[in-house]
Structure 1
Amino acid sequence: MSARPGGPETAARSHPARRPGRVLTVIASCLALLAAAVVVGVRALGQEPTVTLLANWTGEDATRFREAVIEPFEREHHIRVDYQGSNAESQVLGADVEAGTPPDVVVLTGPGELAEYARQKHLVALDGLVDQADFGSSWATPLADGHVYWFPLKADVKSIVWYPADVGEKQRQAAAHQPGQWCVGVGSGATSGWPGTDWIEDILLQRYGAGVYERWARGELSWRSDQVKGAWSTWRDLVGAGGAPDLVRRALKTPYQRASEPVAATPRGCTLEHQASFTRNQPVWEHADGRYESSAQLIFGAPAPRAWEVSGDLVALLHATPQAKRLIAHLASADAQRAWTAEESGFSVHGGIRPADGGTGSAWHRSLALALRDERTAHCFDASDAMPPAVRDAFAEATIEFLAHPAHLDALLRSLDTLSATRGLTWLPSVCDRTS
């Protein structure tokens, strides 16, 4: 900070009796301001180790992530993490890449999107930085070139239905066949519609198994096949698509985070929510002591799930700076993953962490952690997240149109078939850890 010319001298002549203590205080303040200016200058010149990180956690989730995972890294390595959280991170990343200013590290939910960035040479292979054996090939998926470009920081289970603790089995069975008892909200800003894709994916997976599901997620099974079309029709019947105007309007206008709010109403406005494990942290489900049941058991009366649909927050590297490499190694470590799991904001599938590690010991968290490690059942990644971005987005938009106008299904599926056949799209080699 610079004083105006002659300022200090004029001040001295005006106050010849200034006390020494006051002078020392002023000097100390100036030195502090000067030091701050030097720090800002050093950062501006890029001389302080800094790594930029883009992820989708905002609000309380971002605070938990920073406190549990980022701050320990900053203290240990003396590297500042410039974190940006956005609910529209795909759009933010796309704009940054196009402008030539992408972050060093990104956390995305879509392996299909990451595969496209890898094809375009925007991602750095993680060879030597991450041990694939810590996660397995279904989570740290090798692409056609043999390299791994991402790994999961956390995982979630999607083949589940939440209900209040005081709702018994017979009540749940009856509610499952009443469209008004489902808490449905497909709003999500720029990504609206994805809760609908979760429904269709899970129905297909539970009715036909991992083999059919994987063929479809890899672009090898027509959207107009009997299996896929049947999944859409089943969803229609369950939630009343195109039926009661009030139900449809509620589903279309409600953000997914608020879909369960009618559970807290008197009388209850809905009882069941088909949503991923992360929704258990919503205040409504915490207050209702939310419990879960597998969607296969509740909707189809199956003795057990045919497979678990899962999702993940996947870490990828765009700039191989020394500090970015250190952050990648930290995020892939058992310690960082255990700390994030302890927040019950998700689950780790790191081989060095037992399902019982971390967390507060709540029964729902322990049991879902075990479901993620169940070697007797297949685990299939969220199909829309695994699809090429253009197909994923069109799928999400189609679920919104279908909710209001189910009679448009044939036209919607024909359009999705045409889009999926477009040349040059990047499809993942696999989305399930096994298909039999």
Structure 2
Amino acid sequence: MSERGMSVRELADAVNDAVGRLTGRPAVTSERTVYRWLSGQNRWPQARQRLALEAVTGLSAVRLGFVPRGKQHDPVRLEEGSDVERRRFLGAAASTTAAVTISLTPNASARPSRVGTADVIRLRAGIERLVALDDERGGHGLEHVALAGAAEALGLQERAATQRVRQRLFALATDYTAQAAWSRIDAGQLDGVEARLERALTLAGLAQDSERSMQVWNLRAMLARQRRHHHEAVAAAEAGLATAVARRSPVHASLAHARTAVCLAHSGQARPALRHLARAEDKLTKADLQQPRSSWLVFYGPAELHSLTAIVHDVVGRPAEAEAASHHALAELGPAYRRNRAHTLARLALAQLHQGDIEQACTTSGEVFDVMAGTALPGRLRLLLGDFQRDLLARAPRPMAHEWTDRYRTQWSGS
């Protein structure tokens, strides 16, 4: 429940929806029943509830922590009903589990007339898969899938069972639309991104979700900075900092301060940038990073803050501090964040180059291609390597600069 951000009421609704799909009859799982599961008072739910839980979560009842009664250890054994009903129920359970855990867009003819929490969970799983792909190889190429997810969420909200489900679907449509915008930003294809972000901000308003609003302002700041509209980038970052979620959540506040610091540094305001960086560090020390977070924010923690710190220090002319921060970021980054590791290595190479350590900078930049081997380089990473090449040509002996260009031209242009 924590991983999926579900309340007791939402889990009860999801189980009832799943039982209704599987049997064609409404179910009456209550919040009290869920509390009995959580407390261990009921250690083995009724058969239909077990199968519904498995359909909703994609995990077996035993994996969920339930204990079979007596000597029976088959978590999907039905304890009641005829053999015909049992086979029909199990077959339906298998198909529903597949829809919830695998398919982003189920067959339209199989959709229920009433849209509930199970649909929210399925769509949330879809955005989590997109975020995982983005972490592994970059967001480029995911735009069309993300837009399809947004369209489905908006289509389903018209048949939402409750206002809460409707708002959650609007929030998911925001997530998918923001992911589509990020896909273009990461690819370095900035045309049309602003329209996507305007749409995402509208959807966040319909969802009445300040966290999604901050998500969009964070991307707008990144877009403006990439376009070198630095004052606009600062304004967008400050708008994210002013959201309700940034005021109440230390982890959100930390990211908002760090993003503001980066934008201020690029606008030539070094001292305010460093002040915001210090606030970002302070806020992160107060954050409970073990608490579940929205999929778009999972990336943020000590590693990302060190990466953003490296950018700020390098831009304001403190390359030694930038190099140290980059090393800290690389030490903290998990193996799933392959694209982020490559990006941090490129920033590290720039910091080394700006200190005059040309040979080491060339070696470090070469590691970017090793990390991303087998995957096309995102456009944003290509642009950063372009910055490295330009600075290398300006600072290094011509033979060394040309040797770097010749060595990596094929990988760079063909990645």
Tell me which interval the TM-score lies in, with the shorter structure as reference length.
under 0.3
Which structure has more relative contact order (CA 8 Å, sep 6+)? It is 1
More strand by share: 1
More helix by share: 2
Q: TM-score, normalised by structure 1?
A: 0.22
Considering only CA atoms, is the larger Rg found in Structure 1 or Structure 2?
1
